[in-house]
Amino acid sequence: MDKYTNYLFAQGPKAMTQICTWINKKNTCEMPFSADCHNVDSYMKIFNTQDFVEADNFFTTEAINVWECGPGYDMTMDNFYCKLTIHNQHDDELKSCETQVLDNFNHDFNCKYANQYVSCVTNVYQKYCGIAAAKFGCNWAEVAMKVDVPQCNNTLPVC
C-alpha cells in the first residue's frame, strides 16, 4: 500500500486516472469469470494461501478498486488528496475500525457490526476532511461490507 500511495502522491490525480484505466481493463477481461472466481476461496487458491484474512483483504481491495474506478470514480477524484492523506497519515484509525469489526464478527454474527464499521470509517473521513469526504468514506466502507458480509447489505446505512 505504501508504494501505491507514494505513487499517487507523487503523480497526483492523473495517476489515479491511469490506475483506473488499468483496473477497468482488467475488470472487463475478468468479467465473464467473476461470478465463479470473485470470492475469498478463489483468492486463497490464486494466491496459494491458507490465510483467510489475507485472501479476504485482496478480495475486498479488488472490490474497492472496481468501485473507485467505476461508480465511485467522481467521488474518489473529488476526495483524492483526502483519501491519500487518511491512508498515509491516519491508517491506524482505519485499521482500528477494521480490527474492531473483525473482533466483533469473530465473537458472533450480527449485522450491527457492519454498520459500526461503516460508521467508524465515515467518522475518520469526516474528522479529517469534512462532510463530503465522510460520504466518500461511507461509500468506501459499504463496498467492503457488501462483499465481506453480503447478508447484511439491506441493513447498511444510506450514505
Task: List the chain domain ranges.
Answer: 2-155
Distance CA 8, CA 17 (A): 10
- pTM of the model as a whole: 0.87
Largest Cα–Cα separation, the chain:
43
Give the single-character DSSP code of 88: H
Distance CA 30, CA 86 (A): 30
Query: What pLDDT score was predicted for residue 1?
Result: 56
Residue written as grid cell 469526516 = 126
Mean pLDDT by 10 residues, the chain (159 residues): 80 93 88 72 80 78 93 96 92 95 92 97 98 97 95 94
